[in-house]
Every structure is written in structure tokens, then in C-alpha cells.
């Protein structure tokens, strides 16, 4: 008998091959969910399922699966819904949008291509996954929880990240709007705004800049992916049953 705060639930996690998405798979599976790990990098999603989910869930290996998905490709997102319905006979009731990229540059130097690619993955990708899977939940009258990973940069801005900050502010506004529309279907939609979390995405930030940022973090350290994943799992579960349209900082106080 599987136990945990999301026992028996099916969860789709994008960006599941690394960092926060991988940690989300780990904690959700520890708490009893069956996890579909989706990533543009298929091998990394397989690695998440094989190594991290099984490790995390101990006796509960679950019926997890790994899939290749580019969240910015609408037909790929629609295909994933279909294969999920074929395999599991029901849509996931937990959706975690963690796929994200950076293409940093000064505003005055930022190329249109780098602007478009960041918006296309971070904002349009979140939109496509949310729309496609929310629709499936409404059609099957299934209550659910959608968690979109924004960023604290979407609230305060950051030098060199006009494209990224814009995309992440958009994720918050989109989350709040979707929460208003989907409440009547008992689908909750929330955003998380991580601060500086120790994952591969921040490896491109010069160490000097990271050290400078850390001086502004009252807890004085980078966050762990698991510290975001615990909140993702709480928001996925019925423990957060009256929370929707929220945008919650996980920043060590930044």
C-alpha cells in the first residue's frame, strides 16, 4: 500500500531531467505519486526515473515513465497527452512546469533570437502544457493542481536577464489568470518564485556575481532543489486545498 501526501496521484513534471524538476520527481514519488518525467533531454529524464525516483521512493518504484518533450512544441505536447491517456487511462492530476532556459545578455546586446527562445520555452511552453493538460482534466472532471516555476527575477528584475525576467513575470500573471478561470473546475494553479538554487542553470553565472548575490540572502547560502520540491509537493497535495493563484517565494529571504 503506497502512502504519502500525494499517494495514488499521477504527476507530469517538465524539465524533469535536472535540478528542480528532478528533485520534484524525487519528492513527489517519495510521497506516493506516479511520475512522468518529461525533458527535452530524454536520457536525463530516464536517469531521473531510474536513479532518483527509485532511490527516493524506496519500496515504491511505481509505474513511472520518462518521455522526451520540447515544451515549446504544441504538437509534441498534444502527443504527450495522448500517449499519457493511452498508458495511464487518465490525465495527470499534478502538473509541474519546471522546464526553463536562460540566454543572458545586456539589453543593448540581446539578440531577437535569444529573446524568442527564452520566451518560447519559459512562457509559451508553460502555457501549452497548462492549457493542454488542464483541458484534459476538465473533460474528465478531474480536480488537479498545476505548479508553474517562475523566478524571483520575475518580480525584481536582474541585470542581463530582460528576456528571462519578462518570461518569468509572465508566468506569474498567467498563473493568476488561469487560477481565476480554472477554480470552478477545482483545478488549482500556483506559481513558485525560487531565488538562487544550486542547479546547473546557475553554473553560467560568474562566481563573483553569485557571491555578491549571496550577501543579499539572509540565510547566506544557495537553496537546494529539494527545498523547492517540498513546496511543489505540498502545493500538489490536498494539504494546500485552499491555495490557488498564489505566487510563493523560496529565496532564503532575498
Site string for ligand NAD, 217-246 (x = CB under 6 A): ------------------------------
Residue 185 vs 227, nearer CB to ligand NAD: 227
Nearest to 73 by CA among 114, 29, 27, 128: 128
Helical H segments across the chain, by residue range: 19-30, 42-47, 54-57, 74-88, 112-118, 125-139, 153-156, 162-182, 207-214, 225-236
Largest Cα–Cα separation, the chain: 57
Considering the rule CB under 6 A, would residue 202 count as an interface residue with ligand NAD? yes
Contact 187, 143 (CB under 8 A): yes
- CB neighbours of residue 2 within 10 Å: 16
Nearer to ligand NAD by Cβ, of 17 and 166: the residue is 17
Residues annotated catalytic, as ranges: 164
Residue holding cell 511543489? Answer: 232
Query: With respect to ligand NAD, which residue has the nearer C-beta, 32 or 223?
Result: 223
Q: Does 47 bind ligand NAD (CB under 6 A)?
A: no
- Does 170 interact with ligand NAD (rule: CB under 6 A)? no
Told to check if 60 binds ligand NAD by CB under 6 A, we report: no
Q: If binding is defined by CB under 6 A, does position 66 make contact with ligand NAD?
A: no
The reply to whether 58 sits near ligand NAD by the rule CB under 6 A is no
Extract the C-alpha cell encoding 59.
Answer: 519500496
Tell me which residue of 83, 32, 81, 84 sits closest to 53, measured CA to CA.
32
Site for ligand NAD in 115-154 (CB under 6 A): 121, 125, 149, 151
Point out which residues bind ligand NAD (CB under 6 A): 14-15, 17-21, 39-41, 44, 69-72, 98-101, 121, 125, 149, 151, 194, 196-197, 199-202
Amino acid at each position: 500500500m503506497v502512502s504519502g501526501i500525494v499517494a495514488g496521484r499521477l504527476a507530469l513534471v517538465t524539465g524533469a531531467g535536472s535540478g528542480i524538476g528532478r528533485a520534484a520527481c524525487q519528492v513527489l514519488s517519495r510521497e506516493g505519486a506516479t511520475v512522468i518525467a518529461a525533458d527535452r533531454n530524454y536520457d536525463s529524464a530516464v536517469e531521473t526515473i531510474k536513479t532518483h525516483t527509485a532511490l527516493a521512493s524506496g519500496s515504491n518504484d511505481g509505474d513511472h515513465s520518462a518521455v522526451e518533450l520540447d515544451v515549446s512544441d504544441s504538437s509534441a505536447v498534444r502527443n504527450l497527452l495522448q500517449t499519457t491517456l493511452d498508458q495511464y487511462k487518465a490525465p495527470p492530476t499534478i502538473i509541474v512546469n519546471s522546464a526553463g532556459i536562460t540566454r543572458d545578455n545586456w539589453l543593448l546586446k540581446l539578440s531577437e533570437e535569444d529573446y524568442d527562445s527564452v520566451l518560447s520555452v519559459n512562457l509559451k511552453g508553460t502555457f501549452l502544457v497548462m492549457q493542454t493538460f488542464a483541458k484534459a482534466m476538465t473533460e474528465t472532471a478531474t480536480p488537479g493542481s498545476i505548479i508553474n516555476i517562475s523566478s524571483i527575477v520575475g518580480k525584481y528584475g536582474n541585470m542581463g536577464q530582460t528576456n528571462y525576467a519578462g518570461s518569468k513575470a509572465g508566468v506569474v500573471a498567467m498563473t493568476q489568470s488561469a487560477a481565476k478561470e480554472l477554480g470552478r473546475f477545482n483545478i488549482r494553479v500556483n506559481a513558485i518564485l525560487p531565488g538562487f538554487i544550486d542547479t546547473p542553470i546557475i553554473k553560467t553565472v560568474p562566481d563573483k556575481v553569485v557571491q555578491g548575490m549571496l550577501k543579499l540572502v539572509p540565510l547566506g547560502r544557495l537553496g537546494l532543489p529539494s527545498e523547492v520540491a517540498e513546496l511543489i509537493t505540498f502545493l500538489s497535495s490536498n494539504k494546500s486545498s485552499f491555495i490557488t493563484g498564489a505566487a510563493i517565494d523560496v529565496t532564503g529571504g532575498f
